[in-house]
Amino acid sequence: MSSQNIYILGIESSCDDTAASVIHNGKILSNVVAGQKIHEEFGGVVPELASRAHQQNIVPVVHQALKKANITKEQLNAVAFTRGPGLMGSLLVGTSFAKSLAYGLNIPLIDVNHMQAHILAHFIDEEGFEKPPFPFLAMTISGGHTQIVKVDSYFNMTVIGETIDDAVGEAFDKSGKILGLGYPAGPEIDKRAKLGNPKAFKFTKPKVEGLNFSFSGLKTAILYFIQREVKANPNFIEENLNDICASIQYTIIGILIDKLKLASKQTGIKHIAIGGGVSANSGIRQALKNGEQKFGWTTYIPKFEFTTDNAAMIAIVGYLKYLEGDFAEQSIMASARLKI
Ligand code: KG4
Ligand code: ZN
């Protein structure tokens, strides 16, 4: 990477986290995230409330990112922002802010694809974290996406498998809702799964051809299972919550690992990376690590704070694009369904 003195501000606002980060060359100087508690009481992200919260948060969050990095905005070389995919109202806040700031400072504007950023987060300079060599396979697992991507270079990526219905994060969150857990339920299921028996209850895995995924059938199977059991014993959930969580998580991990195994076999690639909010899951992290012994994989698991939505991953993509001189026009628009 270049030895120049490059400072990039990254801005992320695609869903319900307002985030800003400053990167100096490849190293993160600050990584600020303001979450939005407001959605918890609704059991899911409410788009209109998300955009309003972004509007309130964006100026203080950017200020704090600059302050923590100990630089002034005049020292920035470019502003990078999430163009998509995500919620349109949320994306518009980050996009408009980034455009205005870059225009005001007369510095380049850089558009970033959120899903590419989840993958390229692996190229942040972090002690103790190796960067995957090309080509590698990346599995992006979040509340909105589930994909297996063949990564040939920073910006040459091909989606070789994806979900045909729900994302894996939704499978966690919707299962949690059935069990009466709060939103998002992924972290809670993860915590409880550690205390339960993963083989206590069996859920059949969906049969989907090739490298694609499906999670909506699993959600329905869990719903019917719980309804049946609660009918027989109204305390079934409370009495078995840890075992239920462990069994659901075990099934989901099985689905993900089966597809990764197939992808690795089909492509001959054994370097495997994960990214996205669900890659914070301790069971998935462990299953991936086990793959090193079992299948000869070399695995790349991001630092916890770079798994869920963050702006450091936007800033690193901004830096990589800056080195290539790949800048956006002021006329660029947010794109809710942007593809890799
Ligand atoms: O990448 P992310 O922060 O936002 C999206 O772009 O969607 O991912 C959020 C998703 C939620 O569905 C949440 O339940 C899930 O990541 N998640 C987890 C864990 N931490 C977050 N799922 C399972 N185990 C976790 N530890
Ligand atoms: Zn994400």
The per-residue pLDDT for range 175-203, each reduced to its tens digit, is 999 999 998 999 999 999 999 999 999 99
Residue 337: predicted pLDDT: 93
Q: How far is the CA of 2 from the centre of ligand 2 (A)?
A: 28
Q: Which two tokens stand for residue 117?
A: 């950023």
Mutate which of 116, 172, 177, 303 to test ligand 1's pocket (most atoms within 8 Å of Cβ)?
A: 172
Give tens-digit pLDDT for 1-28.
445 799 999 999 998 889 999 999 999 9
pTM, rounded to two decimals: 0.94
Instruction: Flag whether pLDDT at 139 surpasses 60.
Output: yes
Range from 91-95, 143-147, 254-258 carrying the lowest mean pLDDT: 143-147
Q: Which two tokens stand for residue 241?
A: 């919550």
Instruction: Flag whether pLDDT at 221 surpasses 70.
Output: yes
Backbone angles phi, psi at 103, to 5 degrees: -65, -45
Q: What is the mean pLDDT of the chain?
A: 95
Output b/e per residue, 2-31; b: 16+ Cβ within 10 A.
Answer: eeeebbbbbbbbbbbbbbbbbbbbbebbbb
Q: Which two tokens stand for residue 202?
A: 């069996």
Residue 3: predicted pLDDT: 54
Instruction: Flag whether pLDDT at 136 surpasses 60.
Output: yes
Range from 36-40, 77-81, 328-332 carrying the lowest mean pLDDT: 36-40
CA neighbor of 311 nearest in space, from 40, 28, 93: 28
Task: Decide whether any atom of ligand 1 lies within 6 Å of the 281 Cβ.
Answer: yes
Q: By the 8 A CB rule, do 333 and 106 touch? A: no
Residue 36: predicted pLDDT: 74
What is the CB neighbour count within 10 angstroms for residue 173? 24
- Which ligand ends up closest to the CA of 186? 1
Task: Decide whether any atom of ligand 1 lies within 6 Å of the 196 Cβ.
Answer: no
Task: Decide whether any atom of ligand 1 lies within 6 Å of the 313 Cβ.
Answer: no
Task: Decide whether any atom of ligand 1 lies within 6 Å of the 243 Cβ.
Answer: no
Q: Which atom of ligand 1 is nearest to the CA of 167?
A: 12
Instruction: Flag whether pLDDT at 287 surpasses 80.
Output: yes
Residue 15: predicted pLDDT: 86
Residue 4: predicted pLDDT: 78
Give tens-digit pLDDT for 50-108.
889 889 999 999 999 999 999 999 999 999 999 999 999 999 999 999 999 999 999 99
Residue 39: predicted pLDDT: 72
CA neighbor of 198 nearest in space, from 242, 246, 241: 246
Task: Decide whether any atom of ligand 1 lies within 6 Å of the 187 Cβ.
Answer: yes
Give tens-digit pLDDT for 294-314.
999 999 999 999 999 999 999
Amino acid, res. 101 = L
CA neighbor of 335 nearest in space, from 32, 115, 52: 115
Once rounded to an integer, what is the mean pLDDT over residues 225-234? 98
CA neighbor of 15 nearest in space, from 282, 311, 321: 311
Q: By the 8 A CB rule, do 119 and 273 touch? A: yes
Name which residue sits closest to atom 7 of ligand 1, judged by CA: 143
Give alpha helix (H) positions in the chain.
47-69, 88-105, 114-120, 168-178, 186-193, 216-232, 236-267, 282-295, 312-324
Q: Which two tokens stand for residue 306?
A: 């770079």
Q: Is 212 exposed, middle or buried, given 0-12, 13-18 or 19+ CB atoms closer than 10 A? A: middle
Q: By the 8 A CB rule, do 93 and 54 touch? A: yes
CA neighbor of 203 nearest in space, from 256, 251, 258, 257: 251
Once rounded to an integer, what is the mean pLDDT over residues 145-172? 97
CA gap 332, 79 in Å, rounded? 14
